[in-house]
Amino acid sequence: MKETESAGANCPPEVLALIPWYPDGPLSSAERGAVEAHAASCAACRQEIQSLLEEEVSSDPPTAQAARVLDRVLGRIEATEASDALRGSAPLRSMPPAGLRAAPPRRRLARVAGLALAAGIGAVAALSAPALLERISYRTATSEESLQPGGPLIEMIPREELSVAEFRAALRRIEGEVIGGPLGMHGRYRVRLPVGSDPAAVAEQLRSEDGGIATYAEALQL
């Protein structure tokens, strides 16, 4: 029996978050396979991938290409959530199955990927549902060795409404380098500060109501 081809509705959010990195991003073979398997029956995702592949021949840097596709993916996620709400099919997040936390909203998954892109991090998201509910793991695009060895560390959770530009600007202000994260459904980042910085003072600055960008920020004691 021939499968009915999808027009892009209800695409798995974990697959949507991987599409911007499909052409030459740091995806495992399993992740690439998941994208290809979904795209085989989804015309909208095939078109998105084809558009990204065509952009590969342009002079734009890879991060700019991924950012444009991520913007389109965010729009599709928002449209899917609106469609779910109209049909009354949105999941009840207040009562998750026993042993599992409620699934993070689709737009949060893509937002976390967007902030990671801004911080110079390549996504390596696990595709299994239980693991996705617990955490989304990332690796730095440079290397495991910090660019600022020996500096103090803080952990922070950016505010929900924070834009990519605001995240970049905040990192520049504190001269911070993201060395880990985001982890968890709220997107917790680990940031290394320059040697001699006061991590407690920086954390307080990030949490402040006047110009702060984090709902959580604390000095990390190792």
With a cut of 90, say whether residue 200 has pLDDT above it: yes
At 125-172, the pLDDT tens digits run 333 333 333 333 333 333 344 445 678 999 988 888 878 778 888 888
At 72-120, the pLDDT tens digits run 656 655 665 555 556 554 443 333 333 333 434 445 555 555 555 555 5
Identify the CATH number of the domain defined by range 142-222. 3.30.70
pLDDT of 166 reads 83
Q: What is the mean pLDDT of residues 175-194?
A: 79
User: Rounded to 10 degrees, what is the CA torsion of 201, 202, 203, 206?
Assistant: 120
For helices 43-55 and 62-87, what crossing angle results, to 10°? 160
Q: Which two tokens stand for residue 81?
A: 């959530």
Cα separations in angstroms, 26 against 7, 22, 23, 87 = 27, 8, 9, 36
Residue 193: band (very low, low, confident or very high) from pLDDT cuts 50, 70, 90: very high
Cis preceding linkage at 96, omega within 30: no
DSSP letters, 102-165, are PPPPHHHHHHHHHHHHHTTEEE----SHHHHHH---EEESS-SS-SSTT--EEEEEE-TT--HH
Could you give the CA distance from residue 106 to residue 169 in angstroms, rounded to a whole number? 25
Q: In what order do the strands lie in the sheet containing 214-220?
A: 177-183, 188-192, 153-158, 214-220
Could you give the CA distance from residue 180 to residue 143 in angstroms, rounded to a whole number? 11
Could you give the CA distance from residue 57 to residue 7 in angstroms, rounded to a whole number? 27
Cβ–Cβ under 8 Å, residues 124 and 113: no
Could you give the CA distance from residue 166 to residue 10 in angstroms, rounded to a whole number? 30
- Ranges of each domain in the chain: 1-119, 142-222
Instruction: Determine the distance from the C-alpha atom of residue 174 to the mean position of all C-alpha atoms in its chain, rounded to a whole number.
Output: 22
The conformation of residue 191, written as its DSSP 8-state character, comes to: E
Residue 65: band (very low, low, confident or very high) from pLDDT cuts 50, 70, 90: low
Closest residue by Cα to residue 53 from 85, 25, 87, 86:
25
User: Is the whole-model pTM more than 0.75?
Assistant: no
**SS3 call for 185:** coil
